[in-house]
Amino acid sequence: MTLVPIKPARSLAETAASQIRDAILSGAFRLGENISEDRLVERLGVSRTPVRDAMALLAREGLVIVRPKRGTFVFETSPEDIKAICDYREILETQAVRVALRCDRTAYLAELQTVIDAMTAALEADDANAYGRLDTQFHGAAFSHCGNSYLKDANSLVAGRIAALRANITAPYAERRAESMAEHVAMVDLLGTGELDAFDAALKIHIRRTEDVYSRALADGHLGGSTTEVQK
């Protein structure tokens, strides 16, 4: 008889956190939205304890803010916060890309091309949610292939927030997705030819567009608000 390792079952809190996280990252729960505990208990079919534990997990990821006597809210942002996130991304990702190219170049570039192909299909299908998930995978690939747990952990501090921002501020604008697609293709081409300085410049422009799109999404009312509750 061959014995194999047993994978530990996920707790109810982890399962609930996964579903709530997916809803935030897909934009189903909007920035600043009040996530009603009563509605979650009803819809997830669990007691309050795993729901509260799930919220504690998501709070550690920076995706929700628990406000005593007021409730739990999806994180909100500001122009200053967006700028800080962009600064952080620019510094971290340029270094992670270099490490990934040094440690796992072939597999890293192959994954980027696979993602580009899938992004093209999502763009043609006008599937904003799929495009957003693939965009996250594209930028996360450097951390997956860098072989450095500290870089991965540093990215995890903002990865969820960045994915949620994509869903909330980029998804409403088809023309921005088309522009984004062209930028991703250009970046892969630059990595393939080893033009790292040009890649850095292209990545900086790509990341900094987040600030402009945020301002537009805010003006257009796509960023939700703290008075909204989860809908049935």
Read out DSSP for 44-74?
HT--HHHHHHHHHHHHHTTSEEEETTTEEEE
Q: How far apart are CA 168 and CA 39, in angstroms?
A: 22
Would you place residue 17 in the very low, low, confident or very high pLDDT band (cuts 50, 70, 90)? Answer: very high
| pLDDT bracket for residue 7 (50, 70, 90) | low
State yes or no: pLDDT of 26 exceeds 90: no
Region of poorest pLDDT, from 3-17, 145-159, 178-192, 211-225: 211-225
The residue-averaged pLDDT of 32-47 equals 92
Counting DSSP H helices and E strands in the chain, the numbers are: 8, 3
d(CA 126, CA 106): 30
Q: Which whole number is the average pLDDT over 63-72? A: 90
Q: What is the pLDDT of residue 230?
A: 40
Going through the chain in order, the beta strands assigned E by DSSP cover 34-35, 64-67, 71-74
147-167 burial, b at 16+ Cβ within 10 Å, e below that, comes to eeeebbebbeebbbbbbbbbb
The tens digit of pLDDT for each residue in 123-135 reads 999 998 899 899 9
Q: 3-state DSSP call for residue 71? A: strand
CA atoms of 164 and 179, how far apart (whole Å): 19
- For residue 229, the cross-strand partners are 34
3-state DSSP percent of the chain in helix, strand and coil, to 5:
70, 5, 25
Q: What is the pTM of this model?
A: 0.81
pLDDT(3) > 90: no
Taking residue 33's Cβ as centre, other Cβ atoms within 10 Å add up to 25
Give the confidence band of 228 by pLDDT, cuts at 50, 70, 90: very low
**Structure tokens that stand for 52 in this block:** 């509260």
pLDDT in tens, 172-225: 778 888 999 999 999 999 999 999 999 999 999 999 988 888 887 777 776 654
Identify the band that residue 30 occupies on the pLDDT scale cut at 50, 70 and 90: confident
Q: What is the pLDDT of residue 50?
A: 93
44 bridge partner residues: none
Q: Do 192 and 200 meet the contact criterion of CB atoms below 8 Å apart?
A: no
pLDDT value at 226 more than 70? no
User: Which residue, chain included where needed, has tokens 């109810």?
Assistant: 12
**What mean pLDDT is reported for the chain?**
88
What confidence score (pLDDT) does residue 19 get?
93
Q: Which residue has the higher pLDDT, 44 or 166?
A: 44
Give phi and psi for 229, each to the nearest 5.
Answer: -120, 165
Given phi > 0 = left and psi -120 to 50 = alpha, else beta, which region is 53? alpha
Query: Diameter of the chain by CA atoms?
Result: 64
